[in-house]
Chains A and B, each alone.
Chain A
Amino acid sequence: MGCETVRICCTINSRQKTIDIPANLTALQLLRDVLKLKGTKEGCGIGECGACTIQVDGKAVNACLMLAAQLDGRNIITIEGLGESGKLHPLQESFGKNHAVQCGFCTPGLVMSAKALLDENPSPNRAQISKAIAGNLCRCTGYQQIFSSIEDAIQGGSEEGHDG
């Protein structure tokens, strides 16, 4: 049987897209190979490492465990969709400042998991942070700097709020 094409319409990083894709394409392949959004990484390809974490309708999901066809009608945010006009997102700033990036391969996934958490709960405690990033593996940092980065971003965010 030949490969069937599926038409999907979705919003990716605030841009409306209509794309014809093969039915057997994963969401991760769509992002990386078709749209050339290489910030979303492929680590294990079976949902264990979290390097491919993106937001679909606000929720963190593994792009490797979804068919691209499942994205039809959805609102997708990838790491490229964070920050604006040359300015990093506070989480990205904080990861850099707190040395939470070594090889960097897990970083986009971790930032996306952290962002999904903060969208849902702007002031999570350490246990809630731990639960939110438990699906993301980092083999370099030992996680302490990652926790510090997220906690720092939360505080930075509230300070900014006070300063206006």
Chain B
Amino acid sequence: MLFKAAPKRGMMVNFAYRRPKSLAEALDFLSSCGNKTKVLAGGTDLTVDLRQGSAQPEYVLDTSRLDELKGIELSNGQLCIGAGVTLTEIYESALLERYTPALQKCAATFASKQIRNVATIGGNVAHCSPCADTLPPLLIHEAKAILASNKGLRETPIEDVASGPYESSLRPDEIILRFILKPSKDINFADFQKIGRRKALATARITMAFMARQDADRKISFLRFALGACTPTPQRIALVEDYLACRVPTVQTLWEAGGLLAESVLEITGRRPSASYKEPAVRGLSVRMLYPLVHVGA
């Protein structure tokens, strides 16, 4: 049975579909046709781009069934997450629950069940959306992306994958193979928070993740904090990390840290019309997220 679709609203450009059987085959294809190709990891972002016409490739290369991009493991003290791991798989991983609790929390609230079942962590990162939910949790674990091409592997810090909003620094012949994360060690606090217009699905306006170790004397001896969605690319916020390090936190210090955070955002983005909303929202959300440092055990 052969069917020709009638042109209609949201019709995609014509492209050819390729589903390589191995990583080697995928990389071979990209080495010759990479600049005319869009890589499909899960497809939940790409199909929207194709329909809206913002992606008009000659080829779509479906990497969703490559075994080489699957799997979550801990070896030599490093966590390794395949680029093709879905958000549902992240959410269900006991290993990640233990060693990257903020990432697991992020996966729990990512889009909707239907999307989590298909969308991958590699696709989320490679799409380079400023509001990619997985970025702040990856940043606090100092994640590195392992990129593969026919020429071999190279490693890049996660913050360098996006060179700007929706702009990837990957070469056309490269794909993300996996992510290497530092597992959390002796931390007693971690969280991921976001603000969107609706609980499920809404594109995040603000995302943030942190993990911290608070010693018995209540001093914060370790803190990683990252922010997403409200800056052109998600990033660690050193000002907040440095301010809270080695302190015994109080509600007041959290508000002060939140103030520094809001200032950093304005510094990065410039004062935009949305600042009157974002400034208090960023500050308030950070206080809400960090509040257990003051409250728990106090």
Residues of B within 8 A of A29 (CB): 5
**A59 and B117 form a contact (CB under 8 A):** yes
A48 within 8 Å of B (CB atoms): yes
A111 within 8 A of B: no
Query: Chain A's nearest CB lies how many Å from the CB of B197?
Result: 11
**A1-20, CB < 8 A from B:** 1-6, 18-20
Residues in B whose Cβ lies below 8 Å from that of A70: 40, 43, 62, 64
- In chain A between 135 and 155, which residues have their CB closer than 8 angstroms to a CB of chain B? 135-136
Q: Which residues B37-69 have CB closer than 8 A to chain A?
A: 40, 43-44, 47-48, 50-51, 58, 60, 62, 64
A21 at the interface (CB under 8 A from B): yes
Contact between chains at B10 and A45 (CB < 8 Å)? yes
**In the bound complex, do residue A69 and residue B118 qualify as a contact, i.e. CB atoms below 8 Å apart?**
no
Which residues of A are found within 8 Å of B296, using beta-carbon distances?
Answer: none
Inter-chain contact A25/B47, CB cutoff 8 Å = no
Q: How far is the CA of A47 from the CA of B48 in the complex (A)?
A: 8
Chain B residues in 8 Å Cβ range of A60:
113-114, 117
A47 touches B60 (CB 8 A): no
**Is A113 part of the contact surface with B, judged by Cβ < 8 Å?**
yes
**Which A residues are CB-close (under 8 A) to B11?**
24
Segment at the A interface, from B15-23, B138-146, B152-160, B178-186:
B15-23
Complex CA gap A61/B87 in Å reads 13
Chain B residues whose C-beta falls within 8 Å of the C-beta of A132 in the assembled complex: 113
Q: Is B12 an interface position by the 8 A CB rule?
A: yes
Whether B17 lies near A135 (C-beta < 8 A) is no
Partner of B118, one of A1, A61, A113: A61
Cβ of A162 < 8 Å from any Cβ of B? no
Please count how many residues in chain A sit with their CB below 8 Å of the partner chain's CB atoms.
42
Interface 0/1 of A106-148, CB less than 8 Å to B: 0000000100100000000000000110111000000000000
Task: Report the minimum CB–CB distance from A97 to chain B (whole Å).
Answer: 25
In contact, A67 and B43 (Cβ under 8 angstroms)? yes
Q: Are A67 and B40 in contact (CB under 8 A)?
A: yes
A92 to chain B minimum Cβ distance, whole angstroms, is: 19
Are B1 and A22 touching (Cβ within 8 A)? no
Contact A24 B117 (CB under 8 A): no
Closest chain B CB from A111 CB (angstroms):
14
Q: When each residue 81-120 of chain B gets 1 if its CB lies under 8 Å from chain A and 0 otherwise, what string results?
A: 0000000100000000000000000000001111101100
Contact indicator A20/B3 (Cβ below 8 Å): yes
* Known interface pairs A23-B60, A26-B47; A65-B16 also in contact (CB < 8 Å): no
Question: How far apart sit A61 and B15, CA to CA, in the bound complex (Å)?
Answer: 23
A3-B14 in contact (CB<8A): yes
Q: Is the C-beta of B4 less than 8 angstroms from some C-beta in chain A?
A: yes
B24 within 8 A of A: no
| Known A65-B43, A67-B47: A24·B19 in contact at CB below 8 Å | no
Which residues on the B side are within 8 Å of A61 (C-beta)?
Answer: 114, 117-118
Q: Are A4 and B3 in contact (CB under 8 A)?
A: no
Q: B15–A113 contact, CB under 8 A?
A: no
- Assess the A69–B14 pair: CB atoms within 8 A: no
- The residue of chain B having its C-beta at the shortest distance from the C-beta of A60 within the complex is B114
B58 near A1: Cβ-Cβ < 8 Å: yes
Q: How far is the CA of A53 from the CA of B2 in the complex (A)?
A: 25
Q: Report A41-68 CB contacts with B as 1/0, cut-off 8 Å.
A: 0000111101001000001111011110
Contacts of A136 in B (CB 8 A): 112
Chain B CB within 8 A of A33 CB: yes
A88 lies within 8 A of chain B by Cβ: no
- B201 part of interface (Cβ distance < 8 Å): yes
The answer to the question of B199 belonging to the interface, with a C-beta cut-off of 8 Å to chain A, is yes
Contact B43 A135 (CB under 8 A): no
Can you add 19 more A-B contacts, CB < 8 Å, to A4-B14, A23-B16, A26-B51? A2-B14, A5-B2, A6-B17, A20-B3, A22-B3, A22-B5, A34-B3, A34-B5, A45-B10, A46-B51, A47-B48, A47-B111, A53-B114, A64-B47, A65-B47, A65-B48, A67-B40, A135-B112, A135-B200
Between A and B, 26 residue pairs with Cβ closer than 8 Å are: A1-B16, A2-B14, A4-B14, A4-B17, A18-B1, A19-B1, A20-B1, A20-B3, A22-B3, A23-B14, A25-B5, A34-B3, A34-B5, A46-B48, A47-B44, A47-B201, A50-B112, A50-B114, A59-B118, A60-B117, A61-B117, A62-B118, A64-B47, A70-B43, A70-B62, A135-B115
